[in-house]
Chains A and B, each alone.
Chain A
């Protein structure tokens, strides 16, 4: 189950999207999300769908891989669909006992589901095509202006990249601990949700201890290699815009322009 989560994972491939500057991809994701929330307009969604499919095709990430990331949030999607479906006022089109479905409800539910799915697809597409280090580099540089108001941008970016790097290691560790406890008769599979959640507690304790130990080791290794914050630090792979990045920015502006015009006109 844990392995299904593709959010924050990287898919290795050589594509135009992969080689884009991470700042472009970050802003692109933001633009895409904004366009989804512009309004409930079928034309906007049509444009968004075309854009999404085009980017997925360009990125060479298999469609299945992106869909797999949705599994983790199926419950969330269902709940929000349900709320919209049953609790929106409007003309009643179906009534069974106390449950009513209205036309407006149906419409918002459908839009909501599409919106959420696209949201996850769009953002996981960004993380799938950007290495964690690149991503944090992009955040560090893109949000560099926040340093003026004393936000420790570099430190936050460093923490993020280390956290991302340790995800697979900690997943392996969880697996090991679970197997070790199963071998001694621990039961994680039967019982109701509460019982299962309770049986996870003995996993968390050793996991936390080992995570702290690793953190301590890593901090020492970083210090031993002269790490002392962003002061006087140079970059091995500094971010530089290429011509493709400018083209991507133009494409983004055009996309947002179309969506806004559609929203106003229709």
Chain B
């Protein structure tokens, strides 16, 4: 069953001047159709301004579609009474870790979500403990979140969502403001949650390295879904990605350049050891040719 489904989704940002007349209409999402399976680790790729963040906001009912509809766990986001249920089942983590912390102590911060959905006191404590442990931040439960590193703050933010027991977590460029170490920490936590708790992860990003391990990749460009498939399928089409102003992982890029220069390397290389074995194969083949 699909946890997220968008049908003919269109969203327009309308700019108005001071009198309220329409100045310009910017189509952030243009007739988007997408379906995400439950339990998967999904990455959504797109250049700045491609509409990927706007899409994410639809999944959390932070904006409503101009046209078309979105269903989260079978609930239509247009129906007002579903809003809280949807937000509880599809939690959202944002880019700036400082601007999403509400409380001054880590455990209160994690407990904020459960408090809002009316979880009884004892259960909040259980949930806070469990979710802090699941992101490896339990020993910081009494710390002040502003004193932590960026990666730690994002892990707290993720714990705050996990404590609401969602079926799906949407992350809108969660690593954009982190250093490489923080990025690794967050990614590791996300993969663990996906594997152990079977939470669907929807990761919106433009870091290609984060995409390699995903089950499925969606590429959005100018508000439209342009490509979907496994990371290998996506990254074997380097030229098309460049058209959408997206990079590919460094190894893939190198393999692509080598192939352009005439080496017989197969497309869709994602890891450095894959490239090494391909190069070894070519070298052996040449040795065979030379010895003849």
The answer to whether the Cβ of B96 comes within 8 Å of any Cβ in the partner chain is yes
Q: Which of B30-38, B101-109, B131-139, B212-220 contacts A (4 or more CB under 8 A)?
A: B101-109
Contact status A221-B99, CB under 8 Å: yes
The minimal Cβ–Cβ distance linking A168 to chain B, given in whole angstroms, is 7
Partner of B94 from A133, A217, A236 at Cβ < 8 Å: A217
Complex Cα distance, B116 from A221, in Å, reads 13
Complex Cα distance, B251 from A58, in Å, reads 63
Contact status B94-A220, CB under 8 Å: yes
With A228-B84, A234-B118 known as contacts, the answer to whether A222 contacts B102 (CB < 8 A) is yes
The answer to whether the Cβ of B87 comes within 8 Å of any Cβ in the partner chain is yes
With A226-B113, A228-B116 known as contacts, the answer to whether A234 contacts B84 (CB < 8 A) is no
- Tell me which residues across on chain A come within 8 A of B264, comparing CB atoms: none
Complex Cα distance, B123 from A236, in Å, reads 9
Would you give the 0/1 interface string for A149-167, flagging 1 where the beta carbon is closer than 8 Å to chain B?
A: 0000000000001101100
The answer to whether the Cβ of B231 comes within 8 Å of any Cβ in the partner chain is no
How extensive is the interface on chain B, given as a class?
Answer: 35 or more
Partner of A238 from B91, B116, B121 at Cβ < 8 Å: B121
Contact status B99-A214, CB under 8 Å: yes
Contact status A224-B98, CB under 8 Å: no
A123-174 at interface with B (beta carbon < 8 Å): 131-133, 161-162, 164-165, 168-169
Complex Cα distance, B128 from A233, in Å, reads 16
- Tell me which residues across on chain B come within 8 A of A235, comparing CB atoms: 115, 121
The minimal Cβ–Cβ distance linking B70 to chain A, given in whole angstroms, is 15
Which of A162, A164, A224, A233: most chain B Cβ within 10 A?
Answer: A224
Complex Cα distance, B194 from A255, in Å, reads 59
- Tell me which residues across on chain A come within 8 A of B114, comparing CB atoms: 234, 236
The answer to whether the Cβ of B270 comes within 8 Å of any Cβ in the partner chain is no
Contact status B124-A224, CB under 8 Å: no
Which residue of chain A has the shortest Cβ distance to B116 in the bound complex?
A: A226
Complex Cα distance, B107 from A132, in Å, reads 15
Contact status A233-B116, CB under 8 Å: yes
The answer to whether the Cβ of A185 comes within 8 Å of any Cβ in the partner chain is no
Which of A132, A162, A225: most chain B Cβ within 10 A?
Answer: A225
The minimal Cβ–Cβ distance linking A264 to chain B, given in whole angstroms, is 44
- Tell me which residues across on chain A come within 8 A of B99, comparing CB atoms: 214, 217-218, 221
Contact status B102-A221, CB under 8 Å: yes
Contact status B94-A221, CB under 8 Å: yes
- Tell me which residues across on chain B come within 8 A of A236, comparing CB atoms: 107-108, 111, 114-115, 121, 124-125, 128
Complex Cα distance, B164 from A148, in Å, reads 32
The minimal Cβ–Cβ distance linking B125 to chain A, given in whole angstroms, is 7
B216-264 at interface with A (beta carbon < 8 Å): none
The answer to whether the Cβ of B117 comes within 8 Å of any Cβ in the partner chain is yes
Contact status A165-B103, CB under 8 Å: yes
- Tell me which residues across on chain A come within 8 A of B111, comparing CB atoms: 236-237
Contact status B108-A133, CB under 8 Å: yes
Contact status B96-A225, CB under 8 Å: no
With A217-B94, A233-B115, A234-B124 known as contacts, the answer to whether A226 contacts B105 (CB < 8 A) is no
The answer to whether the Cβ of B62 comes within 8 Å of any Cβ in the partner chain is yes
The answer to whether the Cβ of A223 comes within 8 Å of any Cβ in the partner chain is yes
Which residue of chain A has the shortest Cβ distance to B63 in the bound complex?
A: A220
The minimal Cβ–Cβ distance linking A186 to chain B, given in whole angstroms, is 25
Contact status A162-B62, CB under 8 Å: no
Contact status A224-B104, CB under 8 Å: no
- Tell me which residues across on chain A come within 8 A of B112, comparing CB atoms: 225, 227
With A169-B146, A217-B96, A218-B102 known as contacts, the answer to whether A225 contacts B118 (CB < 8 A) is no
Which of B62, B100, B116: most chain A Cβ within 10 A?
Answer: B116
The answer to whether the Cβ of B60 comes within 8 Å of any Cβ in the partner chain is yes
Complex Cα distance, B87 from A133, in Å, reads 25
A186-245 at interface with B (beta carbon < 8 Å): 214, 217-218, 220-228, 232-238
Partner of B91 from A168, A225, A237 at Cβ < 8 Å: A225
Contact status B104-A131, CB under 8 Å: yes
- Tell me which residues across on chain A come within 8 A of B117, comparing CB atoms: 226, 232
Complex Cα distance, B172 from A69, in Å, reads 42
Contact status B108-A225, CB under 8 Å: no
Sampled A-B contacts (18; CB under 8 Å): A132-B104, A133-B108, A165-B104, A217-B99, A218-B100, A220-B94, A221-B94, A221-B99, A224-B87, A225-B102, A225-B112, A225-B113, A225-B160, A225-B161, A226-B116, A228-B116, A234-B114, A236-B111
**Besides the known contacts A133-B105, A214-B98, 9 further A-B residue pairs in the complex with CB atoms under 8 A apart:** A218-B100, A223-B87, A224-B62, A225-B113, A226-B88, A233-B115, A234-B118, A234-B120, A236-B114
Residue numbers of B with Cβ under 8 A of A are 60, 62, 84, 87-88, 91-92, 94, 96, 98-105, 107-108, 111-121, 124-125, 128, 146, 160-161, 164
